Chains A and B, each alone.
Chain A
Amino acid sequence: MTDLFTTYTGSVLQMLLIAAGYLGFFAIAGLLLVWLERRVAAFFQLRLGPNRVGPFGLMQTIADALKLLSKELTGTDKADKFLYNLAPYFVIITALIALAVLPFSQQIQAFDINIGLFFLTAVSSVGVIGILLGGWSSNNKYALIGAMRSGVQTVSYELSVGLSLLTMVLLTGSLQLSEIIEVQKDGWLIVQGHVPALIAFLIFMIAGTAETNRAPFDLVEAESELGAGFHTEYSGMKFAYFFLAEFINMFIIAAIAVVVFFGGWLSPFGITESLPWLGAFWFLGKTLVIIFLMMWFRWTFPRLRVDQILTLEWKYLLPINLFNIVFMAVIIWLNLEIKF
């Protein structure tokens, strides 16, 4: 009985510790990403960006977070209070759940389930419910338009994300993230699958950017059209949750891209194979490159219109994606993958 009790509490404690570790890591990662985005944007725009608080302005986001914490939480009178308050937590929690399965290195993976990839795509699309709730419940027309757009957009682009990943799953034969990476010891999947993999990667980047509601697909916020879109009526820390969730979602999309296309924690050409602890370094490094790419998109492209977003998905991405799957299947059938 005591045995059972100790093992039980032990495992609970273990889980709690891991969860706390993950939360801490991602709070810091989120803050750093916000800083990075502002810094990168500034450099694209020939500005300096935040550079006053701390070295290179690294503490700027912490200062901003403190400011947001101290702000009054305003809300609309006729808002549906329960849903209105629930929405930001919905968004941030779904963003954090997805983190559990990410393999940072061979050893660091909290939760290696055999449907990892499926889990990731599933969970990352649940966050849209939070956005819908927030937009619907805040009793603001701008927020409502933003929320409706988000629903349309996420439902559409979910297909492309799933199908482009499915193309790669044809190569790996498994949905388990650790196995996906294991397969890539013979070469990253983007090399193994060459042309169809490249197409799938491009589609994944487009659809992934749309999934995270970032420019050029930031119709949900669409600053110049809707003011602030779905989070018009949120202030203070509730707004900060939406904001942070956006960046964590960006991290997750980039991390999926790294795992599926760029070999996860594997080093390029196996140069540091003897040092497995460098896996986390490679994983985060590659993720940052993909994140930078997404920031590059954001600070270069104009925003699409709502009907153009749907045109892009249903007339371009989806048919190409379906053909691409067949193409990939043919490649595998004829054994045309490149393996080292």
Chain B
Amino acid sequence: MTNTISDRFKTEEYFINMGPQHPATHGVLRLILTIDGEIIKNVEPDLGYIHRSIEKMSERDSYQQIVHLTDRMDYLSAHMNNEAVCLLVENALEMEMPERVKVIRTIMAELTRIASHLLWWGVMGMDVGALTTFMYGFRDRELINDIFEETCGARLTMNYNIPGGLMFDILPNFQQRVKDFLTHFKTKLPEYDTLLTNNVIFQKRTKGVGYLSMEDAISFGTSGPVGRGSGYSCDVRKHHPYSAYTNIDFKEVIRTEGDTLARYEVRIQEMWESIAIIENLIDNIPEGDFKVATKAVIKLPKGEFYQKVETARGELGVFVVSTGTKNPYRIKFRSPGFSNLSALNKMIVGGKIGDLVAVTSTLDLVIPDIDR
């Protein structure tokens, strides 16, 4: 009997292109899925649809000009990206930043983190099908963007940092505005839990889905909430503190479950931590200069320099090889999204299409960050 039932009803795997234009890939990411029915057998991310060769362009630009290009990598953590380049230049030139600059940078970075996580939260809800979360997330994010807009004139691609400090000083009402936002936001954040986190459908969709063990998290080089959701303590702010993180006390949020819900909760908790950090700093912005005068043409000494910061997505590294001229000889950005995406296959194989959407959205992918 060769003609058994399983022979007659032989199923075949098939390929399906998720993206480059697909609502759940948040940009122009293409995922080549191998599916058996609903079950995912393999995922192969295909990149390059939004490659703008930022690294090559940086080789042509002066160090002041590179900063504005980093806005366009991970546009949701533009401030941190700027900060990475600025810190690198300042460290290479052995410039000491005034305390005021450090504190303002940190406040802005934490605001950016909240804004980024808010967008992620809204989109995460939308990915799992709760469309209303999107508007609630954006409602609160808008207030942060207004603060940014008033302070530095741009909402998203801020370019507020320059090598040597900040482009402008903060406005007198900055502190009040931030405090107003925090009081507003602290009443809204618990609502997020009621609406989405505690929801039984959401819990079922995320709990135990997309498991990433700590070993895998480390070996794939994940960082940020993705790594911390798997119990990997990888917060750059804690382990290699920069700016004002050196003197402030904050908790590194770590979950050990390693599933989608853990990564989700890490981000929600990080918003609470960011609120605490900002509250800690906002009343104690020291007086002083908001920038240190630099030469019009910044030349880095000959050598190799590396600086990493914690963006909303994880560890962003900037590596510069300088030959002593006004342009970098080679610049390399180690973007968190790229490494986080590489762990996708490990997380999702064996899951359903619905799981894939939930998992990619807890990776919090920003495609221009991955492609650069």
- The answer to the question of A272 belonging to the interface, with a C-beta cut-off of 8 Å to chain B, is no
Contact A224 B135, CB 8 Å, known A142-B16, A302-B202, A308-B204: no
Residues in B neighbouring A219, C-beta threshold 8 A: 354
- The answer to the question of A179 belonging to the interface, with a C-beta cut-off of 8 Å to chain B, is no
Min distance, Cβ B78 to any Cβ of chain A, angstroms: 26
CA distance A227 to B24 in the complex (A): 8
Asked whether, in the complex, the Cβ of A224 is within 8 Å of the Cβ of B357, the reply is yes
Asked whether, in the complex, the Cβ of B129 is within 8 Å of the Cβ of A303, the reply is yes
Kindly identify which residue among B127, B129, B352, B357 contacts A301, using a CB–CB cutoff of 8 Å: B129
- The answer to the question of B195 belonging to the interface, with a C-beta cut-off of 8 Å to chain A, is yes
CA distance A301 to B195 in the complex (A): 8
Asked whether, in the complex, the Cβ of A218 is within 8 Å of the Cβ of B129, the reply is yes
- The answer to the question of B337 belonging to the interface, with a C-beta cut-off of 8 Å to chain A, is no
- The answer to the question of A306 belonging to the interface, with a C-beta cut-off of 8 Å to chain B, is yes
Asked whether, in the complex, the Cβ of B132 is within 8 Å of the Cβ of A45, the reply is yes
Asked whether, in the complex, the Cβ of B125 is within 8 Å of the Cβ of A302, the reply is yes
Contact A224 B205, CB 8 Å, known A45-B132, A299-B131, A303-B129: no
Number of B interface residues, CB 8 Å? 31
- The answer to the question of A71 belonging to the interface, with a C-beta cut-off of 8 Å to chain B, is no
Asked whether, in the complex, the Cβ of A305 is within 8 Å of the Cβ of B199, the reply is no
CA distance A44 to B133 in the complex (A): 10
Residues in A neighbouring B125, C-beta threshold 8 A: 302
CA distance A312 to B201 in the complex (A): 11
**Among residues 84 to 130 in chain B, which have CB atoms less than 8 Å away from a CB atom of chain A?**
125-130
Residues in B neighbouring A142, C-beta threshold 8 A: 16
CA distance A4 to B240 in the complex (A): 97
Chain A contact residues (Cβ within 8 angstroms of B): what range? 20 to 34
Min distance, Cβ A154 to any Cβ of chain B, angstroms: 17
Min distance, Cβ A302 to any Cβ of chain B, angstroms: 4
Asked whether, in the complex, the Cβ of B199 is within 8 Å of the Cβ of A301, the reply is yes
Asked whether, in the complex, the Cβ of B14 is within 8 Å of the Cβ of A305, the reply is no
- The answer to the question of A253 belonging to the interface, with a C-beta cut-off of 8 Å to chain B, is no
| Nearest opposing residue in chain B for A140, CB measure | B16
Asked whether, in the complex, the Cβ of B357 is within 8 Å of the Cβ of A302, the reply is no
Asked whether, in the complex, the Cβ of A305 is within 8 Å of the Cβ of B354, the reply is yes
Residues in B neighbouring A264, C-beta threshold 8 A: none
Asked whether, in the complex, the Cβ of A305 is within 8 Å of the Cβ of B352, the reply is yes
Residues in A neighbouring B126, C-beta threshold 8 A: 224
Kindly identify which residue among B128, B135, B196, B356 contacts A46, using a CB–CB cutoff of 8 Å: B135
Interface string of A30-50 (1 = CB under 8 A from B): 000000000001001111000
- The answer to the question of B177 belonging to the interface, with a C-beta cut-off of 8 Å to chain A, is no
Residues in A neighbouring B303, C-beta threshold 8 A: none
Asked whether, in the complex, the Cβ of A307 is within 8 Å of the Cβ of B352, the reply is yes
**Among residues 9 to 54 in chain B, which have CB atoms less than 8 Å away from a CB atom of chain A?**
14, 16, 22-24, 38
Asked whether, in the complex, the Cβ of A301 is within 8 Å of the Cβ of B135, the reply is no
Asked whether, in the complex, the Cβ of B352 is within 8 Å of the Cβ of A302, the reply is no
Asked whether, in the complex, the Cβ of A225 is within 8 Å of the Cβ of B353, the reply is yes
Contact A46 B139, CB 8 Å, known A218-B129, A306-B38, A306-B352: yes
- The answer to the question of A226 belonging to the interface, with a C-beta cut-off of 8 Å to chain B, is yes
Asked whether, in the complex, the Cβ of B129 is within 8 Å of the Cβ of A224, the reply is yes
Asked whether, in the complex, the Cβ of B16 is within 8 Å of the Cβ of A141, the reply is yes
CA distance A304 to B38 in the complex (A): 14
CA distance A264 to B63 in the complex (A): 74
Kindly identify which residue among A41, A46, A216, A307 contacts B129, using a CB–CB cutoff of 8 Å: A216
Residue among B128, B139, B196, B354 facing the most chain A CB atoms (10 A cut-off): B354
CA distance A210 to B130 in the complex (A): 16
Closest CB pairs A-B (n = 4): A303-B129, A45-B135, A305-B354, A302-B128
A to B CB contacts below 8 Å, 25 in the list: A41-B132, A44-B132, A142-B16, A145-B353, A149-B38, A215-B131, A216-B129, A218-B129, A224-B23, A224-B24, A225-B353, A225-B357, A299-B132, A300-B130, A301-B129, A302-B202, A303-B130, A303-B201, A303-B354, A305-B352, A305-B354, A306-B38, A306-B353, A307-B38, A308-B201
